[in-house]
Amino acid sequence: MDDEKILGARKPRVDGAAKVSGKFTFPTDTVLPGMLVGKILRSPHPHATVRDIDPSAARAMEGVFAVVTAEDFPMRVYGQDIPDETILATHKVRYIGDEVAAVAAIDEETADRALEAIKVDYEVLPALLDPIDALRAAKSEQPVLVHQNRPDNIAQEYHIDRGNVVVGFQEADYISEATYKTPRVHQAYMEANVAVAHATPDGRLTIWPSTQWPSRSREDIAEVLGMDVSRIRIIQAGVGGGFGGKFCPKVAMVTALLALKCGRPIRILNTLSDDFEAARPFVATEIRAKTGVRKDGTISARQLWTIVDNGPYSASGAGCLSVASSRGNNLYRMQNVKSDGLLVYTNLVPTGAYRGYGNQALAFALESEMDSIAKAMGWDPAEFRKKIATRTGDVTVDGWKIGSSGLVECIDWVVEASDFHNRRPTHGPIRYGKGMACGTHVSGNIVSYKHWDGSGAIIKVDRDGRVHLFTSEPDIGQGAFTALAQIAAEGVGVRYEDVDVHDNDTDITPFGVGATGSHITTVGGNAVKIAAEKARHEILAWAGRMLKLAPENLDVHGGRIYMKAQPTAALLSVPEVASDYFVNNYIPLFANGSYRTPGAVDKATKYGSPSPAYSFASHVAEVSVDMETGKVRVLNYWAAHDVGRVVNEMAVEGQVEGGVAQGIGFALTEEMLFANGKVTNSDFLDYKCAVSTDMPRIHTHFVEPIDPLGPYGAKGIGELAFVPVAAAIANAVADATGIRFTQLPITPFRLLEAVRKSRTR
């Protein structure tokens, strides 16, 4: 019997060899014969009426094959959650970078000259560059509105009210209240947004986009172009990173317009500056948190007021508002919660999601507050959190049904591993501190997409026994195909090396909502598991026919068929069974599976369980703070995660390390800066991501409470790895300096200014 471990093993990534050898194909690498260069004309104004567009000079230029404006196609209003955007601007532009027109030309130089030749007559309007100002402007005597059909400049509101917070605060022995702010930040993926499109004479449109959800991109593009969905084909090459920044298929839509216009293949590749100024960076937030606690350490009440700066178009804004207004309330036990949130239109660059979907902003607020409460009441911050930690079997204040929770075990590990209660001594101007933060996140969140929000998978066992997996889920660099291949191998009963995972192609692969809501391991993995186990059943049934034995007495491991009573003597191999099946049936063995998140959430009250499983984490950061220069360095980092069954230990470690790296930037350096509505740091020289020299030693640990609804007990990790990081670092800085920072990033300037103020009090 082959005892090789599949689940939990440190298997190499399925795309590893291609990536390290430079042979991996990204959308940027897609080149078609006769392909033209596409370019987008963008608004130079944050807010203006478009009086007239004259593209005639551009259309007359030699080497220009197409120029499109809003006049050339019906401009249907669309949106991820809130329909408020068109592909190209119609009567109005709403931010610097808004898409006004596009050209397709023989080369870049000609395309650039064509853009310069398009004449646009603008009437500049007052710009709303701050959400508070936008709310006030809507109520002024002469209202300034981003969208005329939104007279209050509010895209969406969020309200929940559970228990009785008034009574809860009356019962409190201590109340903490503060306002926390996080800025717009860019997801900093390596490959800018890009798309190639080709419209063929039969009316079909094929697009190679950089997208996190190929199935949904096809549906969205079909709807906005007024085409049948079957006439659009999305082929997904490997994506050069996304992190929530590649949901909106805007570049793909503009490329499609040009392809339909001229019938030639087109590629549009955003510059880095384009992506900073016109893609979908993460929302800026302002969160006022108020929490009451009793002497025994229980939370008596919590109230949140959240404002999210949406920019002019919503994209993922509604989801970010929801998450930033509530998710952290499910980390600890409480009964009385009230939350009110506003998603506000402004004339800054439109926003989107980022690894955690607003949970990282809320965690910064709430986990900072937890430390403030512990200090004020003389409690150990770890024991305080453990006392009220959400546990297996709980139903949380928002209705989450917790099938498994390893939060307490995570806290215990980071406390011991980090020697949490001991500090290095002060060294001249250098002070040292340690900070803890915890987090929870969904693992397969209900997306409630237009038609279906589940996942599908197809297994084909070829005549030589090789297993081909066609999954609806994309791999955008996070290692999804590797994890799904391991689940498939486990389910079918073959070696990991015998599984091939095929890239998404909507003409072939089934429907799935894509890389969002930490969805792939649980929802996508369950679909793969169901398909794989069906294939296993068929293999054993056919083997039983070949051997003239009852299938229920057989088993398959490592690609070999055994009697259950004699698991060391192989009777047949999977290739032998697959070949015999093919010869007798004239087709390979196929099986399919699908899975949808169980449970439901009430639309009015937002109460319910939106995910099959929930992941938990506890982190500790150790920092040094130079009180003379304001420099904060993260020296060590400990991260313990409850991920259910570990599918691939090496991949999970990589996810945590990547999340910590992004969290360090979110905490200390990253912030999009604006002047009169224009991004002033739209490159990686001026936009300061954390780099290799900023990285501490990262110590990881995984708790494995087998979740009843995860595939083989597994849960997601991708988003949660980022969620607690900024809070842990902020708590460590407070521990080192005695100063509580409520605004990110904690730059040297902000730190020195806070030190100066503390010394003059």
Q: Which residues of 51-64 are buried (b: 16+ CB within 10 A; e: fewer)?
A: eebebeebeeeeeb
Lowest mean pLDDT among 8-17, 533-542, 548-557: 8-17
In CATH terms, the fold of domain 284-446+603-760 is Aldehyde Oxidoreductase; domain 4 (3.30.365)
Region 204-229 average pLDDT: 93
Backbone angles phi, psi at 590, to 5 degrees: -115, 150
Tell me, what's the pLDDT at 276?
Answer: 95
> H or E stretch including 416?
helix 407-418
Q: Is the dihedral of CA 382, 387, 389, 393 positive or negative?
A: positive
- Decide if pLDDT at 208 tops 90: yes
> H or E stretch including 611?
none
Tell me, what's the pLDDT at 75?
Answer: 96
Residue in 93, 2, 303, 61 with CA at minimum distance from that of residue 178: 303
> H or E stretch including 554?
strand 554-557
Q: Are strands 266-269 and 194-199 parallel, antiparallel or unpaired?
A: antiparallel
pLDDT tens by residue, 292-337: 999 999 999 999 999 999 999 999 999 999 999 999 999 999 999 9
The two tokens of residue 223 are 């709807």
Q: If one looks up domain 34-123+190-241+246-278 in CATH, what number appears?
A: 3.90.1170.50
The two tokens of residue 141 are 């005597």
Instruction: Say whether the peptide bond before residue 575 is cis (omega within 30 degrees of 0).
Output: no
Region 621-630 average pLDDT: 97
Is the distance from CB of 717 to CB of 700 less than 8 angstroms? Answer: no
pLDDT tens by residue, 228-273: 999 999 998 788 889 988 887 799 999 999 999 999 999 999 999 9
CA-CA distance, 327 to 317, in Å (whole number)? 15
Domains 16-24+451-595 and 284-446+603-760 belong to one CATH topology: yes
Is the distance from CB of 179 to CB of 286 less than 8 angstroms? Answer: yes
Q: What is the DSSP letter of 487?
A: H
CA-CA distance, 604 to 608, in Å (whole number)? 11
Alpha carbons within 13 A on the beta-carbon side of 159:
3
Backbone angles phi, psi at 701, to 5 degrees: -150, 145
Residue 530 backbone zone (phi > 0: left; psi -120 to 50: alpha; other: beta): alpha
- Decide if pLDDT at 723 tops 80: yes
Residue in 344, 347, 247, 361 with CA at minimum distance from that of residue 304: 361
- Decide if pLDDT at 342 tops 90: yes
CA-CA distance, 56 to 67, in Å (whole number)? 9
Q: Which residue has the tokens 């990110």?
A: 744
Name the band, by pLDDT with cuts 50, 70 and 90, for residue 517: confident
Task: Write the DSSP string, 354-407.
Answer: -TTTTHHHHHHHHHHHHHHHHHHHT--HHHHHHHHB--TT-B-TT--B-S---H
Name the band, by pLDDT with cuts 50, 70 and 90, for residue 1: very low
Length of the chain, in residues: 761
Q: What is the 3-state secondary structure (H, E, C) of 55-67?
A: CHHHHCCCCEEEE
Is the distance from CB of 264 to CB of 104 less than 8 angstroms? Answer: yes
Tell me, what's the pLDDT at 609?
Answer: 96
CA-CA distance, 103 to 132, in Å (whole number)? 37
Tell me, what's the pLDDT at 160?
Answer: 98
Mean pLDDT of all residues belonging to the chain: 95
Is the distance from CB of 667 to CB of 661 less than 8 angstroms? Answer: no
Lowest mean pLDDT among 290-304, 469-483, 690-704: 469-483
Helical packing angle, 649-668 and 725-737, nearest 10°: 50
> H or E stretch including 82?
none
Tell me, what's the pLDDT at 193?
Answer: 94
CA-CA distance, 348 to 310, in Å (whole number)? 8
Tell me, what's the pLDDT at 353?
Answer: 94
CA-CA distance, 192 to 240, in Å (whole number)? 8
**How many Cβ atoms from other residues are within 10 Å of residue 47's Cβ?**
25
* Annotated domain spans of the chain: 16-24+451-595, 34-123+190-241+246-278, 284-446+603-760
The two tokens of residue 360 are 């990282």
pLDDT tens by residue, 423-474: 999 999 999 999 999 999 999 998 866 667 789 999 999 999 999 999 989 9
> H or E stretch including 102?
strand 99-105
Q: Which residue has the tokens 């995984």?
A: 702
Backbone angles phi, psi at 519, to 5 degrees: -95, -25
Name the band, by pLDDT with cuts 50, 70 and 90, for residue 478: confident
- Decide if pLDDT at 2 tops 60: no
Helical packing angle, 359-377 and 381-388, nearest 10°: 110
Strand order in the sheet with 499-502: 499-502, 467-471, 455-461, 589-595
Q: What percent of the chain has pLDDT over 70?
A: 99
The reply to whether the predicted model has a pTM over 0.85 is yes
Is the distance from CB of 563 to CB of 554 less than 8 angstroms? Answer: yes
CA-CA distance, 751 to 569, in Å (whole number)? 68
Q: If one looks up domain 16-24+451-595 in CATH, what number appears?
A: 3.30.365.10
Backbone angles phi, psi at 161, to 5 degrees: -150, 105
**How many Cβ atoms from other residues are within 10 Å of residue 149's Cβ?**
7
> At 618, is the secondary structure helix, strand, or coil?
strand
User: Which residue type is seen at 416?
Assistant: E
Q: What is the DSSP letter of 590?
A: E
Provide the H-helix boundaries in 638-714.
Answer: 649-668
Tell me, what's the pLDDT at 3?
Answer: 58
Region 687-702 average pLDDT: 96
- Decide if pLDDT at 650 tops 90: yes
Tell me, what's the pLDDT at 515?
Answer: 85
Torsion angle, CA of 552/554/559/560, rounded to 10 degrees?
-170
Alpha carbons within 13 A on the beta-carbon side of 761:
7
CA-CA distance, 382 to 363, in Å (whole number)? 16
